[in-house]
């Protein structure tokens, strides 16, 4: 397993004991969004900079005085977080702690224009499709700005673009900072592990969350998927139906539950019942599809965007491919990529919000090839 060697813990430890973010998986069985200072201080027991800054900043935003354990933890975080430094100044002034204010000023002077530099690096990472750098930079920008959108974006890019082993810690940060409802963030984590067939890690998390009835859909999904992998197909169906989660679930979990039941019937050779549940899956997916009129209206509104004139580009050896969902673009990309003189990239985020080239080539091997085009030998 990719989880660290330390045992999971069933609840937050008492100070001064700290735990790793992987050990904190054990807490997901009782985890709730904290509503008071003690609950936020409990989250500070997780030895992770993103989680700790989130918990400390949530306290500092409403605290008039900073002392004791809160002061000690905040001053430690101030060494790597501009956001915490900014939040600390008002209460320290009120408490006449000019010695600590002087220390914060020194730290701030050493980190001059850090946010601007990080934004520049992020732009470069988006242009070059360096997804690991994008995730890292988003989280660093959160530490300096306090903008929770950076945590959300780091989680999205990690789950879509990184190997699950690299993405796991970033998805856990999203869970323990509560940037999204616990139910959806936990399901997202389980879905990623299922898609990558990371069964050992899936099992650890499914068992850890089992006592938490506040996230019933995630609990039922984890339990049913484990039974499916163990080929206990009748038991998997029973879990989904008896729990009531299958009947109450909304998209996208409604379609996923219907698909899991259909798969179970198919594995048991009960093909008529499997076909019925596959049809239910399709019906559930149709509910989220836009009407043709709505789709056309969106296209027309985008056509009215004031797109600046792009700089002239004399290169003719790379191409951008667009297409509708499920229209065969991935298949065509794979066919093109099979040619030794063609380099392709996956769906790119570099066209989102920035009028820049879709990607650049940095490695010598890549530079020797034509981008998305065949070069004569």
Answer yes or no: is 230 within a domain.
no
**Number of domain units in the chain:** 2
Residue 347's pLDDT band (cuts 50, 70, 90): low
Residue pair 119/100 in contact (Cβ under 8 Å)? The answer is no
Contact 89, 104 (CB under 8 A): yes
In a domain, 3, yes or no: no
Q: How confident is the model at residue 260 (pLDDT cuts 50, 70, 90)?
A: very high
Report which of residues 44 and 342 the model is more confident about: 44
Pairing of strands 342-343, 370-371: parallel
In a domain? residue 200: no
Minimum mean pLDDT among 147-156, 225-234, 361-370: which range? 361-370
DSSP 3-state of 86: helix
Residues 190-197: what's their mean pLDDT? 93
Share above pLDDT 90 across residues of the chain, in percent, rounded to a whole number: 58
The answer to whether position 259 is within a domain reads no
Model confidence at 313, in pLDDT bands (50, 70, 90)?
A: confident
Tell me the sheet residues that pair with 342.
370
- Lowest mean pLDDT: which of 23-32, 72-81, 106-115, 310-319? 310-319
Q: Can the peptide bond before residue 252 be classed as cis, meaning omega within 30 degrees of 0?
A: yes
> Which of the two residues, 160 and 290, has the higher pLDDT score?
160
pLDDT at 358: 36
- Give the per-residue pLDDT at 374: 38
**Domain membership flag for residue 303:** no
Contacts by 260-268 with C-beta closer than 8 Å and gap 24+? 260/221, 260/224, 260/225, 260/228, 260/236, 261/236, 261/237, 263/228, 264/228, 264/233, 264/234, 264/236, 264/237, 265/233, 265/237, 267/231, 267/233, 268/233, 268/234
Q: How confident is the model at residue 299 (pLDDT cuts 50, 70, 90)?
A: confident
> Which of 63, 83, 112 delimits the end of a domain?
112
**pLDDT value of residue 373:** 38
In the chain, % helix, strand, coil (3-state, to 5) comes to 60, 0, 40
Q: Is the pLDDT of residue 24 over 50?
A: yes
Average pLDDT on 17-45 reads: 94
How much is the average pLDDT of 295-306?
A: 78
What average pLDDT does this structure show over 173-182? 95
Tens digits of residue pLDDT in 87-129: 999 999 988 989 999 999 998 888 777 888 999 999 989 888 8
Task: Please indicate whether residue 270 or residue 365 has the higher confidence score (pLDDT).
Answer: 270
Under the banding of pLDDT at 50, 70 and 90, the label for residue 263 is very high
Question: Which has the higher per-residue pLDDT, 285 or 99?
Answer: 99
- Is 52 inside any structural domain? yes
- Residue 38 sits in which domain range? 32-112
Token output for 325? 């969902």
**Boundary (domain end) residue, out of 112, 129, 152:** 112
Please provide the DSSP assignment of 8-46 as one string: P-SSPPPTT--B-TTGGGGGGGT-----SHHHHHHHTTB
pLDDT value of position 113: 78
**Alpha carbon distance 154, 118 (integer Å):** 14
Is 153 inside any structural domain? no
Are 215 and 226 in contact, with CB atoms under 8 Å apart?
A: no
Q: Above pLDDT 70, what percent of the chain? A: 89
In a domain, 91, yes or no: yes
Which of 74, 93, 112 is a domain's end point?
A: 112
Average pLDDT, the chain: 85
Task: Give pLDDT tens digits for 53-72.
Answer: 999 999 999 888 899 999 99
């Amino acid at each position: 397993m990719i989880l660290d060697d330390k045992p999971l813990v069933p609840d937050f430890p008492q100070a001064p004991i700290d735990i790793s973010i992987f050990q904190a998986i054990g807490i997901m069985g009782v985890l709730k969004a904290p509503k008071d200072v003690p609950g936020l201080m409990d989250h500070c027991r997780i030895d992770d900079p993103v989680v700790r800054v989130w918990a400390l900043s949530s306290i500092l935003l409403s605290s008039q005085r900073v002392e004791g354990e809160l002061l000690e933890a905040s001053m430690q975080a101030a060494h790597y977080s501009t956001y915490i430094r900014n939040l600390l100044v008002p209460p320290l002034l009120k408490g006449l702690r000019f010695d600590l204010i002087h220390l914060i000023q020194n730290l701030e002077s050493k980190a001059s224009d850090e946010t601007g530099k990080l934004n520049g690096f992020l732009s470069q990472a988006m242009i070059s499709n360096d997804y690991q750098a994008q995730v890292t930079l988003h989280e660093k920008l959160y530490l300096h700005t306090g903008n929770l959108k950076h945590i959300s974006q780091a989680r999205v890019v990690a789950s879509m673009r990184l190997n699950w082993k690299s993405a796991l810690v970033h998805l856990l940060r999203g869970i323990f900072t509560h940037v999204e409802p616990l139910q959806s963030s936990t399901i997202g984590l389980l879905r990623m592990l299922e898609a990558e067939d990371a069964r050992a890690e899936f099992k650890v998390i499914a068992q850890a969350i089992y006592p938490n009835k506040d996230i019933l859909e995630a609990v039922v999904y984890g339990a049913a998927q484990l039974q499916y992998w163990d080929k206990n197909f009748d038991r998997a169906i029973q879990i989904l139906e008896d729990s009531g989660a299958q009947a109450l679930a909304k998209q996208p979990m409604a379609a996923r539950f219907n698909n899991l039941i259909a798969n179970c019937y198919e594995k048991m050779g009960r093909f008529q019942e499997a076909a019925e549940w596959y049809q239910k899956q399709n019906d559930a997916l149709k509910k989220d599809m836009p009407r043709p009129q709505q789709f056309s209206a969106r296209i027309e509104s985008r056509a009215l965007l004031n797109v600046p004139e792009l700089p002239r580009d004399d290169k003719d050896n790379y191409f951008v491919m667009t297409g509708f969902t499920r229209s065969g673009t991935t298949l065509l990309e794979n066919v093109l990529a099979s040619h030794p003189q063609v380099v392709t990239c996956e769906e790119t985020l570099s066209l989102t919000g920035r009028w820049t080239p879709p990607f650049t080539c940095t490695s010598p091997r890549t530079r020797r090839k034509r981008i998305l085009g065949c070069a004569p030998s």
